[in-house]
């Protein structure tokens, strides 16, 4: 099927702690609580999820759009 990177390393902007998370394929993750300092991470304006803002890899829908596999609304 489609190939995308499902794991992203999320770096907390508050304390710098980073953790590898597996992204849900069909949904964007809006909020993530840092497991080190409990800061609730939220996406930056214009970003669709925390992975796009703080992760090493854009979220799956963005990756698929970039490859042209999914129709853009
Ligand atoms: Zn943190």
Q: What is the DSSP string of 8-66?
A: EEEE-TTT--EEEEEPPSSS----EE-TTT--EE-PPTT-SSHHHHHSSS--HHHHHHH
Rounded to the nearest angstrom, the distance between the alpha carbon of 7 and the centre of ligand 1 is 19
pTM, full prediction: 0.78
Rounded to the nearest angstrom, the distance between the alpha carbon of 62 and the centre of ligand 1 is 25
Rounded to the nearest angstrom, the distance between the alpha carbon of 27 and the centre of ligand 1 is 23
pLDDT digits (tens, 9 = 90+) for 26-73: 777 889 999 999 999 999 999 989 999 999 998 888 888 876 655 545
């Amino acid at each position: 099927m489609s190939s995308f990177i499902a794991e992203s390393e999320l770096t907390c902007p508050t304390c710098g702690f980073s953790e590898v998370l597996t992204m849900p394929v069909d949904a964007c993750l809006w909020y993530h609580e840092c497991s080190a300092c409990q800061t609730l991470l939220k996406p930056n304006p214009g970003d669709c999820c925390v992975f796009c803002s703080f992760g090493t890899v854009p979220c799956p829908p963005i990756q698929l759009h970039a490859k042209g596999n999914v129709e853009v609304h």
